[in-house]
Chain A
């Protein structure tokens, strides 16, 4: 017990009796005596009450440089109890002898006291690294938003209002995207071209064409522009933009003379090569550059000389601290619904139906009914493993909206919806389903596999009515396909430029489906709206606001609290690239080894050297665990880790060693401790920042130290906060298993996936594992039997019935 802290001062150990709750199995006199030589020991019945904290403050102020070790409750618990003192700079090395020892073991004072002693000893000798204030390089206070649809524009407007500079890039000449063009939207049944934000009246929706938030002076709108390339780093990206000219200048008064003279057809609204879309309002008119023949007829006709064909494309570079991609999605291509007759004049998609709706409404005013019978087919090309395997989530609601409107306009029209499931799970959506049934829409459960046509060209649909279990023939006049949505056609290119992953369906992959739905796999690059998968307008609006505040946080975090980054020892690194491939955050790069860099003997002149980008490193330790040369130092060094292992496994013949990740598994274990759920004191736990820190070497060392069994407890599957820590641990445990088997000394090795809900069961799991490790398979079975008999959940407290196996 000699390695003391850097400053050479003996540490002070504050022993807490926690109001007598540990007296039953910890002999405090003995515990105190154990450290008398190496530390100043001060014991108190309660450290966290008023007097205790006052005394702690005194110690801090008197003797600030002396390391403090607190032997009492867990880190989590102590953090909460002493938070005021922590705010004032208190640094405590916590040795959890309460929920990590006394509370989870039964009465054998001798062995429990010895274990407590070891916990304190490990904390004195091998203290953990303290969180550092990492200073991040300055973040450019501007955001590049790609996509001027409803999601992108709203997020851009909100960010601009927060005071950030915004570069909004839109591929088309007009803002508003799909939603503004589509007509009415659910669940409100009004137009899709309003944003919920305005400067003047927060929370009041306003049309796109007159929404002052979009005209915020912090916002710079790039129409007809695309992102060519991105370089730089999170916090300071350099983006090159390519912008096509609008041809029609701001002088345009929208008289429409140009459109009259234009003889060239186009797909755009109005059908001419010079056209306008009125919902944007900021740009009056533009030219379809693909269709235009540059004949100049419009320029001649223009009374205000607003048409200028001399403009050319421009390349510009902008800087952005963060990037938001909101490129949206688009309707599935025709080839996915050809089997349902798409391409035939009597078959349309719901998007086309939305456009037809205006015409049909007019027809209804004249008392006309365009068709007698109409069939909608849900999941057209969707939820189909050969076409679109996913559910686009909005098609059911669109169908309901259209069906209700049709039945309202034309009470004589027969409207049938062939569906598989009606997915109406949003707020108030079920009412739409009810309303549709009440409106007399017929719901036929069953999906047609094809649409055929008779000699007159009328659609014929053979479909099983699944509920009635019989096959039927429908002969509608019009078939409406509820097609799914697919990623925007340049989503793949954008992802490549931004270096973000796509998910299995080709949409921008989000970092975490539960908690971080607006972050991509690349730091500093965000996503919102349908770019990450088809969404209703409701969700797009919500996500736009969410991502704006997310980006605001990102840009404002000039420094963040973080553990120190890992470092590579050039004298050991052989440039093998194992770490580069293993780092889940791309923080490691192999560089040409500088001439003056230290090197291992076997590395000659040139060769590579791994370097870690301190800002990108999150400190998971996966690289340190995998480096074959042990060249990487993690903030929990190998010395400390092996040291803790040695200290903790002493004093008991056949310890059961548990390495656990301090996140989810840590939560389960410490909460289980709070419940006083008992397990044998031969269990020795070692906390890790992430299970990825473990290497086969650590496991084998534990076995060498006499472990009867070893378990690794990490987060729930695929929920590692460092993305691949559990996978790395799985590899390492398998490697260790092989090595131990080869050596002829196999012991039980298990990998557990835990989360906080497992607090009820983890105690039992540890007890059973001990039975298995210490005894034979029969003992394990007997253990299970025993647990079953006494399966009343442990109530904790003094009369806990759990006996150690």
Chain B
């Protein structure tokens, strides 16, 4: 077996080994990891395998694909090991040397197969996004074409984003919002009605989030852009583009301008997912609740920031973290509201598979400017 591992892979692992020698094996990385409950080995043991230079096991380790690149582990590490970086390097190593062990490709494959049979599942849109980023085997051309068709804008009505007379803010919609016209419209609507004009960056392309492979971001700008997706924030910041979540900016704007918000339901459970900066994101949801006279029901922050189930880019079934959250929401008879569109889809899928009666909203679907029609979607999980 060992002879099958190329020397180059060994050399890389030796290099990585030198970078994590100071690891104490304290486990703080797993303690901090939002995916911690789902992992078989977890970052600590990945580091351990690097230290023992167990290249065979590293090339087979699926946990690295369950990492959402949130950096929580690196931030937690008392020994300044770049833990998230290690997870990334092992992923790259698998792409280069492990071949078949890249679950992303498998997942994309499965998603596109289902897509051709049943065209209204939440993951469909996400699957299309995968198509546009080249994760689809070339023989599935039809699907790929469909993806392209969806992303060229022929099938959606382009909503009005700008407000006359004010300087529009550069807006980067990313892939997820592009695929979901309802969500797009809702976002545009709330922005418009709050007097916060957005100008979509045409042809901005994929943000190139690392766990989806090495697609470089296409956007080039020296301005700060507003975003809807935490993965976009992360990847754009990587290429030194400043970003700010649009909904966070909207809440701040509303607060500053003393505008009221209207909520679709009197109370809700917040959920911010793993990639979003937990503190700020929960804070903004709390602020929005206040502006809308709604009640935010929450337990401890970790519960509202665990992994949604998009382990390594694709939904693979409900995670323990999200099941706990759904239970909590069901107990409190309140819908879940999240600022991340991917999270919304994945939590919806989880709700369906857990057979619970819990509604899940993307933020602009739940909060609107006061005095306008409260919502454009009902947050239903069912078709």
Bound Cα distance A386, B78 (Å): 7
Bound Cα distance A446, B76 (Å): 13
- Across the interface, B31 reaches (CB within 8 A) one of A385, A386, A387, A447, namely A447
B25 cross-chain contacts in A, Cβ below 8 A: 466
Q: A455-B297, A462-B302 are in contact. Are A447 and B26 (CB under 8 A)?
A: yes
Bound Cα distance A379, B24 (Å): 12
B301 in contact (CB, < 8 A): yes
Bound Cα distance A465, B26 (Å): 9
A446 cross-chain contacts in B, Cβ below 8 A: 26-27, 31
Residue contact A449 to B31, C-beta cutoff 8 Å: yes
Bound Cα distance A794, B28 (Å): 52
A460 cross-chain contacts in B, Cβ below 8 A: 299-300, 302-303
Q: A386-B80, A447-B27, A449-B28 are in contact. Are A469 and B45 (CB under 8 A)?
A: yes
Residue contact A448 to B41, C-beta cutoff 8 Å: no
Residue contact B31 to A448, C-beta cutoff 8 Å: yes
Bound Cα distance A386, B76 (Å): 10
| Nearest-Cβ distance from residue B349 to partner chain A, whole angstroms | 23
Instruction: Say what secondary structure dominates the interface of chain A.
Output: loop
| Nearest-Cβ distance from residue A561 to partner chain B, whole angstroms | 46
Residue contact A420 to B42, C-beta cutoff 8 Å: no
**Which residues of chain A from 360 to 401 have a CB within 8 Å of any chain B CB?**
379, 383-387
A463 in contact (CB, < 8 A): yes
Residue contact B27 to A463, C-beta cutoff 8 Å: yes
Q: Which of B78, B297, B298, B303 has the most CB of A within 10 A?
A: B78
B300 cross-chain contacts in A, Cβ below 8 A: 452-455, 460
Residue contact A383 to B24, C-beta cutoff 8 Å: yes
| Nearest-Cβ distance from residue B19 to partner chain A, whole angstroms | 14
Residue contact B301 to A452, C-beta cutoff 8 Å: yes
B298 cross-chain contacts in A, Cβ below 8 A: 455
A141 in contact (CB, < 8 A): no
| Nearest-Cβ distance from residue B36 to partner chain A, whole angstroms | 4
A385 cross-chain contacts in B, Cβ below 8 A: 22, 78-80
- Across the interface, A454 reaches (CB within 8 A) one of B27, B41, B299, namely B299
Among residues of A, the one whose C-beta sits closest to the C-beta of B297 is: A455
Residue contact B24 to A464, C-beta cutoff 8 Å: no
| Nearest-Cβ distance from residue A254 to partner chain B, whole angstroms | 48
B26 cross-chain contacts in A, Cβ below 8 A: 379, 420, 446-447, 466
| Nearest-Cβ distance from residue B333 to partner chain A, whole angstroms | 15
B45 cross-chain contacts in A, Cβ below 8 A: 469
Range for the number of chain A residues in contact with chain B: 20 to 34
B80 cross-chain contacts in A, Cβ below 8 A: 385-386
B97 in contact (CB, < 8 A): no
Bound Cα distance A446, B29 (Å): 10
Residue contact A471 to B31, C-beta cutoff 8 Å: yes
**Which residues of chain B from 291 to 307 have a CB within 8 Å of any chain A CB?**
297-303
B41 cross-chain contacts in A, Cβ below 8 A: 469
Bound Cα distance A463, B25 (Å): 13
A450 in contact (CB, < 8 A): yes
Residue contact B76 to A449, C-beta cutoff 8 Å: yes
B87 in contact (CB, < 8 A): no
Bound Cα distance A138, B80 (Å): 53
A453 cross-chain contacts in B, Cβ below 8 A: 300
Among residues of A, the one whose C-beta sits closest to the C-beta of B306 is: A462
Bound Cα distance A466, B27 (Å): 6
B30 in contact (CB, < 8 A): yes
A452 cross-chain contacts in B, Cβ below 8 A: 300-302
Q: Which of A384, A420, A462 has the most CB of B within 10 A?
A: A462
- Across the interface, A387 reaches (CB within 8 A) one of B29, B37, B42, B78, namely B78
Bound Cα distance A420, B297 (Å): 35
B209 in contact (CB, < 8 A): no
Bound Cα distance A464, B27 (Å): 6
Q: Convert A777-796 into 0s and 1s, putting 1 for each residue whose CB lies closer than 8 angstroms to a CB of B.
A: 00000000000000000000
Among residues of B, the one whose C-beta sits closest to the C-beta of A453 is: B300
Among residues of B, the one whose C-beta sits closest to the C-beta of A381 is: B78
B79 cross-chain contacts in A, Cβ below 8 A: 384-385
Residue contact B42 to A471, C-beta cutoff 8 Å: yes
- Across the interface, A383 reaches (CB within 8 A) one of B39, B44, B78, B297, namely B78
B42 cross-chain contacts in A, Cβ below 8 A: 464, 469, 471
**Which residues of chain B from 30 to 70 have a CB within 8 Å of any chain A CB?**
30-33, 36-37, 39, 41-42, 44-45
A447 cross-chain contacts in B, Cβ below 8 A: 26-28, 31, 78
B39 cross-chain contacts in A, Cβ below 8 A: 471
- Across the interface, B36 reaches (CB within 8 A) one of A387, A420, A450, A462, namely A462
| Nearest-Cβ distance from residue B192 to partner chain A, whole angstroms | 35
**Which residues of chain A from 430 to 485 have a CB within 8 Å of any chain B CB?**
445-450, 452-455, 460, 462-466, 469, 471
**Which residues of chain B from 309 to 367 have a CB within 8 Å of any chain A CB?**
none
Q: A446-B31, A453-B300, A471-B42 are in contact. Are A464 and B78 (CB under 8 A)?
A: no
Bound Cα distance A463, B39 (Å): 13
Q: Convert A102-123 into 0s and 1s, putting 1 for each residue whose CB lies closer than 8 angstroms to a CB of B.
A: 0000000000000000000000
Among residues of A, the one whose C-beta sits closest to the C-beta of B28 is: A449
Bound Cα distance A386, B299 (Å): 29
Residue contact A463 to B31, C-beta cutoff 8 Å: yes
Residue contact A464 to B31, C-beta cutoff 8 Å: yes
Residue contact A420 to B24, C-beta cutoff 8 Å: yes
Among residues of A, the one whose C-beta sits closest to the C-beta of B72 is: A449
Among residues of A, the one whose C-beta sits closest to the C-beta of B81 is: A385
Q: Which of B26, B39, B299 has the most CB of A within 10 A?
A: B26
Bound Cα distance A447, B37 (Å): 16
Bound Cα distance A21, B30 (Å): 69
B299 cross-chain contacts in A, Cβ below 8 A: 454-455, 460
Among residues of B, the one whose C-beta sits closest to the C-beta of A445 is: B27
Bound Cα distance A466, B48 (Å): 12
B36 cross-chain contacts in A, Cβ below 8 A: 462, 464, 471
| Nearest-Cβ distance from residue B361 to partner chain A, whole angstroms | 20
Residue contact A464 to B30, C-beta cutoff 8 Å: yes
Q: Convert B70-86 into 0s and 1s, putting 1 for each residue whose CB lies closer than 8 angstroms to a CB of A.
A: 00000010111000000
Bound Cα distance A465, B27 (Å): 8
| Nearest-Cβ distance from residue A417 to partner chain B, whole angstroms | 14
Bound Cα distance A462, B278 (Å): 15
A463 cross-chain contacts in B, Cβ below 8 A: 27, 31
Among residues of B, the one whose C-beta sits closest to the C-beta of A383 is: B78
Q: Convert A640-676 into 0s and 1s, putting 1 for each residue whose CB lies closer than 8 angstroms to a CB of B.
A: 0000000000000000000000000000000000000
Bound Cα distance A453, B298 (Å): 10
B28 cross-chain contacts in A, Cβ below 8 A: 447-449, 464
| Nearest-Cβ distance from residue A504 to partner chain B, whole angstroms | 16
Bound Cα distance A760, B41 (Å): 47
Q: Convert A61-86 into 0s and 1s, putting 1 for each residue whose CB lies closer than 8 angstroms to a CB of B.
A: 00000000000000000000000000
B76 cross-chain contacts in A, Cβ below 8 A: 449-450
Among residues of A, the one whose C-beta sits closest to the C-beta of B39 is: A471
Bound Cα distance A420, B27 (Å): 9
**Could you tell me which A residues sit within 8 Å of B by CB distance?**
379, 383-387, 420, 445-450, 452-455, 460, 462-466, 469, 471
Q: Which 4 residue pairs of A and B lie closest in terms of their CB atoms, listed nearest first?
A: A464-B27, A384-B78, A449-B76, A464-B30
Q: A445-B27, A466-B44 are in contact. List 13 more A-B contacts (CB 8 A).
A: A383-B78, A384-B79, A385-B79, A447-B28, A447-B31, A452-B301, A453-B300, A454-B300, A462-B302, A463-B27, A464-B31, A465-B27, A471-B37
In the assembled complex, 19 residue pairs joining A and B whose CB atoms fall closer than 8 Å, in A order, are: A383-B78, A385-B78, A385-B79, A385-B80, A447-B26, A449-B29, A449-B32, A449-B76, A452-B300, A455-B300, A460-B302, A462-B31, A462-B36, A463-B27, A464-B27, A464-B42, A466-B27, A466-B44, A471-B39
